Amino acid sequence: MLRLARAFPAILLVVAALPVEAQQGRNDSTFTWNKSLAPNSMLSILNGNGPITVREAPAGSDRVEVRAVKSSRSRGSYQDVSFDVRETDNQVEICTLYGDQTSCRDRNGSRNIRVSVEYTVLVPRSLRLKLATGNGEISIERAGADVSASTGNGRVTVGQTEGRVNVSTGSGDVQVDGANGPVSVSTGNGRIFVATAKGAVEASTGNGDIDVRIKSLPVERDMQFSSGSGSIRIMLPANYNGRIDATTGNGSLSSDFEISIVGRLESHHIRGTIGSGGPLIRMSTGNGTIELRKS
């Protein structure tokens, strides 16, 4: 009996400590985490309210460094926010927790908390990134592999990348400059600018201009661009071959390329072939001009 009595407190202590281990940084205004990760590992940052900034780690470093600073508004307490860190062999997920949440997948916590969190992350260029925030800007100065970034409200800026780029925002401008792979971007309200060395591009905005510049060939699959109200300007290599389907509700269509018209020529809708044909470029805007330019 004495042996059992001595053992039970230790067991109860371990069980009670488990949930606490998943919630890091609750009593601190600043949370930090760092670790060396293998090339092509995935780093996920999931934030509820606040911006995320990513910069390149020093040359030769394989370490990820994460710094999250809490900022409380009136009647807000930084102790209302903690952090969940989940690690596997090739993936790390860091999530902002609110109230009674114990993990990112726990819906019991309250998001009506007057605390925002600003993430600053240093990453090697070999990592894949998945970034999300409910409200705030996302800025990625340089990343190596695939990038996924989404925000409910805020501007998104992505610098040089080597892999696939997927960006979405409920409201805000999007800029992707220096991509070297396929790019897909969308915004509910804002301008879109994409400059890529190669790879297909898709872009859509509810309200705003679209400016896309593709520097080299081949573009091996179809591309689509749409704006509810805004101009669309696509710049392609001079030796581009493909098909186009362009529609504007109220605006002009112009092209530096010779287009062989297919079907009937209409003032606000053109279908045709550039050169020997190939992938389809579909462009549509409710109110704005459409331009095809040679780079």
What string of DSSP letters covers 197-212?
SSS-EEEEESSS-EEE
Q: Classify residue 292: in a domain, yes or no.
A: yes
- Taking the whole predicted model, whether its pTM rises above 0.75 is answered as yes
User: Do 120 and 159 sit in the same domain of this protein?
Assistant: no
Q: Classify residue 275: in a domain, yes or no.
A: yes
How would you class 62 by CB atoms within 10 Å of its CB: exposed for 0-12, middle for 13-18, buried for 19 or more? middle
Q: Classify residue 145: in a domain, yes or no.
A: no
Q: Classify residue 255: in a domain, yes or no.
A: yes
CB atoms under 10 Å from CB of 73, counted, come to: 9
What is the distance in angstroms between the CA of the first residue and the CA of the last residue of the chain? 85
Please give the tally of structural domains in the chain. Answer: 2
| 136 and 120 Cβ atoms separated by less than 8 Å | no
User: Do 168 and 72 sit in the same domain of this protein?
Assistant: no
pLDDT at 21: 45
Three-point CA angle 174, 177, 183, nearest 5°: 70
Written as tens digits, the pLDDT of the chain (295 aa) is: 334 344 434 433 333 333 334 579 999 999 999 999 999 999 999 999 999 999 999 988 899 999 999 998 777 788 889 999 999 889 999 999 998 888 877 766 555 678 999 999 999 989 999 999 999 999 999 877 899 999 999 999 999 998 999 999 999 999 999 999 999 999 999 999 999 998 799 999 999 999 999 998 878 799 999 999 999 999 999 999 999 999 999 889 999 999 999 988 787 899 999 999 999 999 999 999 999 999 8
| Domain containing residue 168 | 155-295
User: Do 163 and 268 sit in the same domain of this protein?
Assistant: yes
Which amino acid belongs to residue 130?
Answer: K
pLDDT at 14: 39
Which amino acid belongs to residue 236?
Answer: L
Three-point CA angle 122, 128, 133, nearest 5°: 70
